[in-house]
Structure formats: C-alpha cells, structure tokens
Structure 1
C-alpha cells in the first residue's frame, strides 16, 4: 500500500506502485524516494508515517515526520516550524549514537516540511506496559542502566530533550536496547542560555515545575525520567500518583510488590520538585546506581550495605546443616583471609593468575587492580573508558584480558600492567571474554548479539558469530 501525505485527502490508501494519489492527485513518493506505507502517529505539530526507502536495493523501512499543526489557531505556527527544523538539526548532531535515531533526510515538498529518520523496530514503553503489565524493580534498574548513558551523551552535547516520557522510549526488538526518540522539543544550551527563560513545552504529566515556566535545565530530563519510571512500575497515570494537597508523589502506594529502599530513594530524588534537591547530573545518578550495595538487574553486587569497592577473599559457609554434609566436609571452617579495599565502585569480576601469584579485580570505577596473595595492592590499571564488565587470564599466566561498556576488549601484561592490544569491533557493551585453551585466541561476547574471535598476537578479528537475538552475557570454550 502507498499512503497519501495530503492531510486533507479523503481516501489516502493507494496501490503499491502508484506515483500519484487516485483520490486527490497528491504525489505519493517523498523526494521521489521515500514511499509512505501507513500512518503510525499523530501529535500536536504533525503526523508520522512508516515508509520504505525505494532507492536502496534492500528497501529498508524508515519513518517520515510531516509538519502539520493539528490546531493552527491554538498553536504558534512560527514556533512550530522552528521546533521542527530544530529537531532535524538535533538528529543530525546526535544521531551517531546507537540509541538515538539517525537522520536520513530533511526537506520541503508541496508546502509541507518533512524529515526522514531511521526506523526503530520495537515497542514504545506505553505499548510494552499495556501488553505485559507493570515493570518489575529489576526492569527499572535495567532501564536506568541502559538509558542514563544516552542522556549523558546528549547533555554533554549541551542538549536538553524536554519530552522524556514512555511514548518516546522504544525498546529495539533486535537487541533489547532502549532508544530515545522525538527530539522535536529538544533545546540546545549555549553560553548563558541556562539563565534565560524559554518556552514551556513537553508533556504535562511528565514535565517538571521549572520546565513548565520555561526554565528547563539538565535536571529537568532527570525528573521526567523519574516520572516515567514510576508510571512503568505502577501502570498508573502520573496525575493519579501525585498528591496535590500535599505536593508530594505517593507512587509507592500503588505498587503491587515491595521495593528495595535503595531504588525508592533514588527515584524519590529524581522526583524532587525543587531543582536543588534533585540530582543535578546524569553522572550523579549513575554513581548512586552503581554503588556496590545496590542489587541491580545486572546481578547482586553485595548482599548487605557495606564499604564501597571491597573485594573479599573468602568462601561462603555451607547452606546445609553440618550433619547433612559428607564427613570430609564437616571439618571445613571457612573464614575471610584478606579484605582488599581500594575500588571506588562495585567489583564486577575477579580472576587468579594461572600460576596463582596474583589476583585481579575489575570494577565499575573503570580500573583493573592487581593484588598479591597477602592482600596488598600490586598495581592499578586505568583500563577502560567505561565500566569493566569481565576479566580473564591466559593459560600461561602472562596476559590478562578485560572487556568493558566502552565496547572494547583490551589485553594487558600481568607483571607490568602494559597494554598489549586493544580490540575494536563490537557495537555495544562487551560483557564476557575468555582465552582459548592454547592462549592464541580471545573470544568475546557482547550486547550487540555477536561472539567475536580474535588473534591475540596481532589483535586481528578472525570471525564474527551471529545469530543471537539478544545480549551474549556468557561464553565458554571447549577444551
């Protein structure tokens, strides 16, 4: 089907190969290239269509956004035009990020403004919560863990999104990643722009007080993200989660299951009305999100609240009563030998050197630390630009490999801490890494759904194994 872009057409559906609408004569292909298939959305400033790019042999899907104010008498048409053009510029600037749609084209045709952008195959979070029910605490941890770095990226480009809400967050079907869309309300801050009053914009239920009077800040996006989270946790409209008499959020009354105090505290700080009481930056939220005592969707870091960044060389007491254990195990008396302190964030992975001389630990503080068996710090390696997800050792005990959220795998010398190789190629976080039994190859698994095999001596990528539809979080190598 071809769908007519004329807002006033009485019969917009047309045959697949038609070039002009049979009802109104409107040209069907946009820019003689993009063919609309059907309308998928409608908002205050325009309409959205699913389309196909007929210039490319694979005929990939894309999205067409048409500027068409629904209530011209109630809207400022000049402002709307500026916002629409601004969205194109925002997407051109930010679309290099894998969790922001790429801008494909922006032009005018038959008196209407259009932009064409990457199609994100997946459901937005309103659709997801309607279909599957309220989010669990674990799902909220994962949402924050995945989406906050995207906000960090746009804020570092001096952009405030100003319309974060469940409808504008899509979970990509192929990878499970959350994608932030619709930059039509975004604002670029330059110089002293933060001090100037701007336009009130955004979706009312998700908009913080300062943004409602035209004084949006970076913390405004964090507030909207917090409201999004409590909506997903309760599947209740934000207006019903706010006590107007007391001026406070009462979202926890609507939960179906108990929630950890850590997440509740984090969300309450995101939802503070006065901006001084709210998180001021994404980095501050991430610091609390990755505190070692937090139990996240990525795993338990510490069972009890304790010191930050602690590695304990200990073993857990058997859970079975002693009388139920074999005779040879009844005499075991597990005790802590050393507590190794120094990491500034959660400890994600530990590994012994194959000869048992050293212990390595990888952390969310982006470092790898090497310890001797007396518990003394031997060396600190500033390993990655992102969190260290996993580490492994070569069979001969000479090399150590680490992988990270920065999408790289790095190989180090155990004794000197010198960098041997940096392996680039993954397009998302690398979550698992392992040497082959003979030590010549390194295998990595990533959130991009691939397993990659590398030749250690040169860092050359030998093979990419595809087929997974979601993250690869664990790998193994046959002997």
Structure 2
C-alpha cells in the first residue's frame, strides 16, 4: 500500500502503483526524500499533521515512523509555536537517541511545504493497550516498570531535558526484548530553573500533569516523577487519573489507596505517596532517590555464584567475572574480591544451577563465560554500516551514516584518522592486502582510495551512476570489485582503471567476496540469488537459489570449500562452492541477518542480525555455540580479527564492540540449536 500525505485526506490508503489518491485526488508521493515509502496511517494529530508508518528502502525496507507537521491553525503565533515544538522534538531525539530506550532520530527535513521527522519504529504495545487487555497490574510488575524506566528518566534529566508528558500511551513495551521505551518527546523542553509558558500552551495530560506544570508552566525533573507516579497508579488500579482529576482535582492523590484492587506493601505505598506529593518540594527530586528506595542492599559475597550462568568455570573465567562484577556500582569492592581470589576461590570449579541473566543488561547472556565484551569503541555520530580489519590486525576501518570513515589503531583502540570526502552514507570499506590502501564505497555514487598512513584521499575511481553498495579486494592486490546497482565492476587497483563489468543479477548487488586464491568471486543480490563468478573468464559458473527474500551478505570459508549466505529471510544457508549444492540451513535469528564472517580457522561462522544479537555457529557439530548480546540495537556489521581470538561488531547505536571469543574443543557442544539439513 501507499499512503496519501494530504493531512486532510479522509481515506489515505491507496494500492501500490496508484498515481493520484482515490479519496482526495492529491498526487501521491512514492518516496519521501527519495528514501521513505509511507505505507500506513498511525495517528492523526488533530490539526497539526499526522504520524505514519513507513519503510526505509535504503535499509532493506526496515520500518520507521514518519511524523508530519502540516498545521491547520489560525494566527502567526500558533503556527510559530507548532513549528517550534516540532523542531524541538527533532533536537531532543537527536540529543537523546544514544539511549536504547528512546527512539533514534533518522531524519528531519522539509518537503512540499511540510516538515517531516523520521524516527525509529518501536514494535510493541504501549502500556495503555496492555492495560486494556489485562485490567490491572500487580505490585511487583509496577516495581519492575519503575526499575526499567527510572534510569531512562535519569538519563534525559542529566541531558537537561524534561519529558513533560509521561503517561501509559507514551511508554511502549518493545516486543523483541520486553524493555520499556519512552516515546513522544514533542512536549520536551530544555531544563531550566523555571520554564514559563504562554497562557494556553501548558504541555501535558490532565491527571498526569503536576500542579506546578499545569498552573504556571514550571517543569522540573520531579515533575516527570509525578507523572510516572500517576502512570503507576493507573496501571495498578485501572482507574484513569484524568477522570479522577476532573471529579476531584488533585484531591485524588491523597486517597489513591481506595481505588486499587489489590493491597500493596507498606514500603511500596510510601514510594508512591512521595511520587504523588502535590507540593513538588516534598516529592522525590531525582530518579536516583526513587531507585535508592526501590533497590535492595547489595548481596553478600556468599551469593556471588548465583550471578554466573550454568557452566564449568576455569580460574581465568572466575577472575574475569569477579573483576567485571566488582566494577559495578553497589557491589563489594574489587579489592575484597581479589583478596578472596588470593585466598583460594579462583582455584575452585563450580557446577552451578541455571540462573537467568537476561533481565540484567550489564551482564552478557552468553553460553560461555569465556566469551565477553572487552571494549566498546565510540566516535561515530551515526549508524556504523561497515567495518574492515587489516591483514596484520593493527588497523580497523569503520564506515558510517555520518559520511565519514574512522581509522582505528587496534593497539591503542583510538582513532588515528577520520577520513572525510564522501557526501553521503559510507556503505563499504576494504583494505588492500598490504594494509597501505583503503577503498570505500558510498551512497554518493563514488569509490574513493585512501592512503592509510597519511589519512588522505589518493584517488576517486571513475564516474558512477549508482550508489556503491559493496566492495572487495583480491588477496593478490590486483582487483577491486564493486557492487553498483545490479552490476559488478572490476577495477585494476594498480592503474585505477576499470577492467570490465559483470552482468547477471536482476537487482541490487549487496554483497561481494573474493576467495583467498583470488580466482572466484561470490555475489549476493536482492534478486534472492547468489552467483559464483570465475575471475579468469569473467563468467558466472553457478547460480545458487533457495533464499525466499533478499540476500544481504555472503562469505567464503578460509579453505575455499564453502559459501555462507544470508539475508532478510532470517536464515543462513551453507553451500558447497565446487558443486553449488546446498549443505545446510541455520536458523535461530529473529530479524534480518546482515553480516557473516568465518573465523580464520574455519571452525566457526559468525552472524550479525537486526534482532540485536551475534550468533557463533559451530561448523563441526552443526549447532549454535554462543549468542552474544550486550545492547538491543541492530548489529550492522561483523568481522573476525585475523588471529580469530576476537570479533568486531558495528551497531546502529553508533558503537563498535570488541568481543573476546572462546573456540570450542572437538568434543564441546553448544546450546543445542540444531541445523535443519536441506535435502
């Protein structure tokens, strides 16, 4: 479907391919900003515009939210205020989007005399919808809600922002991980001692809005805490604070206990009492104060084993876990723990009962304690799209939607150079075998070559009419291959001249990889096929079919015997490179898989997905060995270190992670996710 963007259209949905809206006659916009396909209406903002569901065609039709500002108001002041608040929301999202529980801002632009804001789509239900299905919540569920949301409020308040409209409709429980996401920052304002609003412009919702915000437009961090308390009461009782406020004004907060169906503990009642104080001076003044009253005292050392997942632990594993736990706020000091190790704890091996760590985002929920997040590299200001590692494992290159490439020194984990020159997203990077040259491909339709040592551009290859989606350099250093549209161009890396163009795919070539012997090129395309090319004859030797949706990533095993392919259908397929026959199908991801890489020893295949996880597949046992997850944001790129002992991952949250990897022995078996062997 395609959606009409006329804010007054009574029936905006139209069949794909329609040129003019059947309901209002407005010419339909196929792509906003040549990128976003609007497919459905989510809500009407009542005279100020609409909110739509859209697909980002540059990100495999990934869903996003498009907010439209098309104010139909009278008067210069009202129009100015509407534009001001809309722009303010974009600024707030840009400022706060690094938090995984706040939607990211993707774009803010003007088109056809309307303003548009594009942000992350959160798949899930808001708490108002949840409440309608279940009627009320229990005390322990409300406490879990507070423990999940209070750190988000702490974060936004530290950034100088007050939300000003916290209520069940603006809190979404994300389907993929159950975390709560705070939305709708259109009411946010910069934090100051007193924020005065013009009469009639008070922001908030009746019943959830504290008295200082309603009467004088004043807003403090404690104002958000009142709204959070009112939200908790609504979920606990099933009674809307809005209705109670209409009947009794702020008198309802003194008698909230009369409306709840199940009694609550004295301690929790005291927390809710203080959240709902009418006088803001008597309320909690910060999220930390609430957390302090909700959080139990740190556990004694004797319960430490319950923090470790079910496994046999080596001394080194115990040491790693103890040190990581010791670094956490509220835990016993690292010195005490290390003294305990010296006293003999590290020499013990535990067989521990199973403990679910998934509720604690600071602990890696891996199948082995030996796999752990060692470092996070932060310098990009937009999504990391691609990464590459030099053959000598001393340098890492990362390309981003911020249009830059970062060259990292892996000895110091610091940025050595920031390469600027592309005018649009950098989609692919590749090192020459000697590590002296980096090639980069971009949505700006150029391929650029860079001197690594100097951090300077040395050439731009040819003229491209299409964005460059993928790059690969042969191990002999002679050929650079680039995916541009449905074609693959081969370049002589020494002369920097085009050699030939490979044609055969019918849709975008999204992945190119060249075998270690520089004789074979494998390409994956949005036409759902994988093609194997002979680089001597420049001809297709095999076309592999089986994927039901777009192929996004391909990889060749180090020994040149196997191809791995994956994409939007969430499966990984293994193929015999020589015969082209299917070997196996790996399943387990719940989102599109966008990156694959073989460990240099050929024993493990890594996959990175939009579901936020990295999975390590044991190719000896045909089982999933480990799932790595530290952050819920999408994994956009993965690469093994040439030594095989670490794995690098790029994410949509702008970060690059460095994982230390344990390789299973011949007899070890993973967590039991089997392959579905194909016929």
**1:305 corresponding residue in structure 2:** none
Choose 69-78 or 44-53, whichever is displaced more.
Answer: 69-78
Q: Distance in 2 between matches of 1:102 and 1:138?
A: 30
Q: Secondary structure at the match of 1:115?
A: strand
**1:7 corresponding residue in structure 2:** 7
Which one of 332, 336, 351 corresponds to residue 368 of structure 1? 332
1:267 aligns with 2:272: yes
- Displacement of 1:274 in angstroms is 0.6
Q: Distance in 1 between matches of 2:632 and 2:223?
A: 31
Distance 1:378 1:350, change over 3 A: same
Q: Secondary structure at the match of 2:207?
A: helix
- Displacement of 1:127 in angstroms is 0.6
Task: Map residues 413-428 of structure 1 onto 2, 5 A cutoff.
Answer: 423-424=374-375
**1:227 corresponding residue in structure 2:** 230
Task: Map residues 72-83 of structure 1 onto 2, 5 A cutoff.
Answer: 72=74, 76-83=78-85
Q: Distance in 1 between matches of 2:55 and 2:308?
A: 48
Which one of 289, 295, 300 corresponds to residue 294 of structure 2? 289
Q: Distance in 1 between matches of 2:186 and 2:38?
A: 21
- Displacement of 1:34 in angstroms is 1.5
**2:392 corresponding residue in structure 1:** none
- Displacement of 1:46 in angstroms is 3.0
Q: Secondary structure at the match of 2:58?
A: coil
Choose 173-182 or 43-52, whichever is displaced more.
Answer: 43-52
1:278 aligns with 2:283: yes
**1:297 corresponding residue in structure 2:** none
Task: Map residues 76-155 of structure 1 onto 2, 5 A cutoff.
Answer: 76-155=78-157
**1:24 corresponding residue in structure 2:** 25
**1:407 corresponding residue in structure 2:** 362
Distance 1:179 1:443, change over 3 A: closer
**1:197 corresponding residue in structure 2:** 196
- Displacement of 1:429 in angstroms is 13
Q: Secondary structure at the match of 2:185?
A: coil
Distance 1:429 1:207, change over 3 A: farther
Q: Secondary structure at the match of 1:367?
A: coil
Distance 1:116 1:152, change over 3 A: same
Deviations 1:193-250 (A, max 9, x none): 3135235211122111111121101111111111011011111110344544846432
What count of residue pairs does the alignment treat as equivalent? 375
Distance 1:3 1:223, change over 3 A: same
Q: Distance in 1 between matches of 2:135 and 2:262?
A: 13
Q: Distance in 2 between matches of 1:228 and 1:42?
A: 23
**2:547 corresponding residue in structure 1:** none
Q: Distance in 2 between matches of 1:263 and 1:235?
A: 18
Q: Distance in 2 between matches of 1:152 and 1:115?
A: 25
**1:322 corresponding residue in structure 2:** none
Alpha carbons 2:69, 2:115 under 8 Å: kept: yes
Provide TM-score, normalisation by structure 2: 0.48
Q: Secondary structure at the match of 1:66?
A: strand
Alpha carbons 2:166, 2:227 under 8 Å: kept: yes
Alpha carbons 1:20, 1:28 under 8 Å: kept: no
1:48 aligns with 2:51: yes
Q: Distance in 1 between matches of 2:206 and 2:53?
A: 27
Alpha carbons 1:197, 1:214 under 8 Å: kept: yes
Alpha carbons 1:107, 1:113 under 8 Å: kept: yes
Distance 1:155 1:73, change over 3 A: same
Please, which runs of 5 or more residues in structure 2 have no aligned partner?
A: 351-356, 366-371, 377-607, 614-624, 635-642, 647-657, 664-669, 673-679
How well do the aligned residues superpose, as a CA RMSD in angstroms?
Answer: 4.5
**2:537 corresponding residue in structure 1:** none
Deviations 1:234-283 (A, max 9, x none): 11110344544846432221222111111111111111111110000111
Distance 1:72 1:289, change over 3 A: farther
- Displacement of 1:27 in angstroms is 3.3
Deviations 1:134-187 (A, max 9, x none): 111121111111111111111111011111111110000011010001110101
Q: Secondary structure at the match of 1:262?
A: helix
Q: Distance in 2 between matches of 1:6 and 1:428?
A: 34
**2:661 corresponding residue in structure 1:** 462
- Displacement of 1:11 in angstroms is 4.3
Which one of 297, 300, 303 corresponds to residue 311 of structure 1? 300
Q: Distance in 1 between matches of 2:120 and 2:16?
A: 21
Distance 1:428 1:157, change over 3 A: farther
Distance 1:393 1:222, change over 3 A: farther
Provide TM-score, normalisation by structure 1: 0.66
Distance 1:116 1:196, change over 3 A: closer
Alpha carbons 1:222, 1:279 under 8 Å: kept: yes
Alpha carbons 1:408, 1:424 under 8 Å: kept: no
Alpha carbons 1:442, 1:456 under 8 Å: kept: no
1:34 aligns with 2:42: no
Q: Secondary structure at the match of 1:21?
A: coil
Deviations 1:400-419 (A, max 9, x none): xx999573669xxxxxxxxx
Distance 1:257 1:476, change over 3 A: farther
Distance 1:275 1:17, change over 3 A: same
Distance 1:380 1:196, change over 3 A: farther
Distance 1:217 1:429, change over 3 A: farther
Q: Distance in 2 between matches of 1:136 and 1:142?
A: 10
